[in-house]
Structures are given as structure tokens and as C-alpha cells.
Structure 1
Amino acid sequence: MSSDLRDRLVAAVVGGMSCRRAAERFGVSAASAIRWRQLFLLHGTPAAKVQGGDRRSTRIEAHAGFLLATVEAQKDVTLVELQAMLAERGTPVGIGTLWRFFARHGITRKKRPATRPSKTVPMS
């Protein structure tokens, strides 16, 4: 639903119309009209809350300095080793969490050194 529809419905209710009557007028369910009015009364706006997104990265971002310094000092450190170091610091995280952390910071982790290009066979 558009924010404009929510605003118009709430304005009608504030203007004296009942929630059920406003719901009929704007073609929405009575439950939606009641919820939008409650949102308006609690928060001052009937706008929807933000959906999705990252809600847990703040826990690992608190250790960003430590992680980045460790990777800089020890170039061949593995994600499993970093996971163990964080667990020792009291922050148990999964490998995927570490992987996403490095992706956000633009750091790639090669598992093996690059091989020389072949002169006889094209590499893809």
C-alpha cells in the first residue's frame, strides 16, 4: 500500500470518520485502517516500518579493527582461524558472517595462490 493512501485514510479518521467507514471509502480492510490509525497514534505517522536488511552485522562490525589488523598482519589467516579468535574474544560467529564481513569491506580471500597462465591451453 502506498504511503499516500495511509496518510489520506488517517486524515479521514482524524477528521471524524470511523476506521471502518474510512476503510470502506478507501477500499482497504478494516483491520488495516485500525492498524494504520494505531501506528499514527503511537509514532505520529502511519508509514510502514522498514523491511529486511541487515540487523546483526553490528556485532561483528564492533570487531572490524581487530579483524582487519589481523588480516593485514597475517595474510594467510583462514576464516576458521578468525572464527576461533573471535570466539576467544567472546563473540562466536559463523563462517558465513565472516565471509559477508569481508565482502562488505571489499576484501577477497584466495584459498590458493594464482597459477601461471598456460601457453598451450586457453584458460577460462
Structure 2
Amino acid sequence: MTAPLSNDLRERVVGAIEAGESCRSAAARFGVAVSSAVKWHQRYRGTGSVAPGKMGGHRKRVLEPHRAFIIERINQTPHLTLHGLKDELAARGIKVSHDTVWKFLRREGLRFKKSTVCP
């Protein structure tokens, strides 16, 4: 992801538009996309600032509050499958995909290992 352009550039573009220049000509003069000039001007009119909004962020880990339950279930039933664990979580009202369960288990260092001895 690229970094936002400087506030100085944003202010000069918006200043030109506020002075009566069109968005297209201001964008061409400062070497930015027309859509950027339009959005910066809209942000300025709406908030009074041309500063960029927050970018990115972190998502909450859905299964973190249920860590104790998951570890307890794996210790109680070592042959529990990912889909089985997902179904048990769904019965408790936690709707997640099996991929989410898998990623949680990998992060925690827990694994579903099959026996190395084949019958």
C-alpha cells in the first residue's frame, strides 16, 4: 500500500480549486489524478481539513476470547477435527470458517497430528 501524498500538496491543490481553478486543471498543474483533486476538495468542504484519513488497521481476532474453550476441547478430545471444532463453536454461537480455526491453532502452536504409526 502506498503512503498518502503530503498535506502541503493537498493544500496547494485545494487552494487552487478554492481560488476558482477547475479540478482538472489544478490536478494537471500539480501532477495528481483528477479523482484525487476532487476527493481532497470534497474532504476539505466536509471537514475543513485535507489531511488523509486513517489507513489500514488491525482486525480483532474472533477466536481469542474463546481460547480457553478451544484448548480444553483439544485436550479432552485429541482426535477432534477442524470441522468438528468449527461445529462446536457454531453451537456456542461463534460462526467462523474452518480456515479461521486453522489459523488460530497455528498461531497458538496447536496441531492436529495424525498418528505416525499406520494400522
TM-score (norm 2): 0.67
What's the C-alpha RMSD, in Å, of the aligned pairs? 3.1
Equivalent-residue separation in structure 2 for 1:72 and 1:43 (angstroms): 57
1:89: how far off?
0.5
Residue of structure 1 in register with 2:100 after alignment: 97
Check whether the contact 1:10–1:36 (CA below 8 A) recurs between aligned residues.
yes
Runs of 5+ consecutive residues of structure 1 not aligned to the other structure: 117-124
Runs of 5+ consecutive residues of structure 2 not aligned to the other structure: none
Pair 1:50-2:56 in alignment: yes
Residue of structure 1 in register with 2:27 after alignment: 23
The DSSP-based 3-state class of the residue aligned with 1:91 is coil
Check whether the contact 1:6–1:36 (CA below 8 A) recurs between aligned residues.
no
Distance 1:89-1:43 versus aligned 2 partners, 3 A rule = farther
* 1:22-64 deviation digits (Å, cap 9, x = unpaired): 412221222211213444654952256228xx74x63333322
Corresponding pairs, count? 110
Q: Which amino acid aligns with 1:10?
A: R
Residue of structure 1 in register with 2:9 after alignment: 9
Distance 1:2-1:98 versus aligned 2 partners, 3 A rule = closer
1:99: how far off?
1.0
The DSSP-based 3-state class of the residue aligned with 2:80 is coil
Equivalent-residue separation in structure 2 for 1:99 and 1:2 (angstroms): 32
Equivalent-residue separation in structure 1 for 2:52 and 2:101 (angstroms): 37
